Structure formats: C-alpha cells, structure tokens
Amino acid sequence: MNGMDRTWAIEQLGSFIHMTEYVASTTPGVFGSFIRGREEDIAGQAQVVEQILDRATPRWREQMRYDKRKWQGLRQVASRGRAQLERDQELREKMGENAPELSAAELHSWIWSGAKSLWQSGHYREAVEGAIKKLNAETQNKVGRRDLSETDLFKQSFSVDEPKSGKARLRRMKDDGSDTYKSVQRGAMNLAEGVFAGIRNPLSHEVGQELSEQHALEYLASLSVLARWVDDSSVEALS
C-alpha cells in the first residue's frame, strides 16, 4: 500500500458504504427499506472501490460473500478494506510487524500488468509466468528483436559488444570503458539467466504445483528489478 493516499482511499470506501446502506422509506404510505444512493452513482463508485481493494486487500474477491441484496457483498469487503487502511499502521506496530511492505501492485508496471488478473484470482504460479512473458515481450519490443527470447535475448541485449545490424544493445550506463560499466552489464545478463533458469524453467515443468503467495511475490520482485534495468537502459543501435 506504499504510495497510496490512505485518507483519500478511506473517504472513497466510506462514500460507497454510505451510498449502499439500506434505509427505511420516509415516503408516507410506502413501507420497506431502500438503498440510499442512486444506481448510476453507486456503479461509478464501485469502480473506484474495486481498484482500492486491489491494492489494500488483494484477495478481497475470495472474501466476498453472496448477498441477495444488491451491492451488499461488495459493501462488506469495502468495510473490511476501510478498517484495514484505518488501522494497518496500528496493527503492525502493536503486533510487532512494523516492517517495510512490498506490494505486488507497486512493482514495475510490466510485471504487475502481466501478473495482475491471475494474481487476483489466486493463481500465483501462472501469474509469475505471465509476468515473465510480459517482460520478455517488452524487452523484444525495446531492442526490436523477435528472433530471440528469454536468456539469449537478454544476453545479447546487455552484451558489451558493439551493436550490429539488427542487433541493438541495452546500456545501463554510458560505455566509459570502466569496470563499473562492464559490471552492471554483466549483472543484468546474470540476473536474466537466473530468472529463466531458476524461475521460468522450473515453473514450466511443475504445472500441477502451485506457489505460495509469498514465494510468488518474491519472484515478482526479482522480475521487477530486471524490468527496471531494461526500461531504464538506453538503446544503442546502428543507424
């Protein structure tokens, strides 16, 4: 939840909770209770609420219970989400868990966009695989190569060799001939090799085995580092 405007998010959730409250009719001769807000207003606010919940409580869809009264299922998880935002800092301090947070939604955009839909449904292994595919595709796009993928793509892209026709290079820093330049290029190649050899390949051979949420998040964090290196690199190509 790092980076989220908590005050704003709490207000948005509170607005939705207020709008979806059932209140007794005040019209003479009309009995029963009615939802407070207008349908079109509630529907619009629900879009905002769902995005907040994706950040505050990513597994909220699993927690939502069926309620025959319209909007009440989402209202319940919105109430839980609001409590989470209001008291998160207090809970972590009192329970001795006031450690830095890592949110999947705040990883590099390539990684989260590749993983998001599967992550939210609890398919963590497939989410990691989706993030790897997205990273591979974005790297191909950046260097203009479709003839290579995965380890070979990154190895050639971060090579310290001069670019050749149809073989652009990624430079994490200006080539000044220093050991630092060679080190950061080699580091990117080695991390990419580790990602595909240590994460991608085992996942492809363990189709029936699910990852825990924590392990999947750690994998996504590794991918995010590599994605940022690619995204921040300059492209060196023959004109």
pLDDT tens, position by position, 200-214: 999 988 767 788 888
Residues 6+ apart with CB under 8 A from 23: 33, 34, 35, 36
Mean pLDDT, range 226-234, rounded to an integer: 97
- For 82-105, what is the mean pLDDT? 76
Q: Are 125 and 210 in contact (CB under 8 A)?
A: yes
CB 158 within 8 A of CB 187: no
pLDDT score for 41: 95
Looking at residue 96, its pLDDT comes to 66
Pick the closest to residue 46 from 7, 23, 72, 68 (CA basis): 72
Please give the pLDDT value at position 1.
Answer: 54
Report which residue type is found at 119. Answer: W
CA distance 120 to 15: 24
Strand positions, DSSP E, the chain: 22-24, 33-35, 169-171, 234-236
- Tens of pLDDT along 1-46? 556 788 999 999 999 999 999 998 777 766 778 899 999 999 999 9
pTM of the prediction? Answer: 0.65
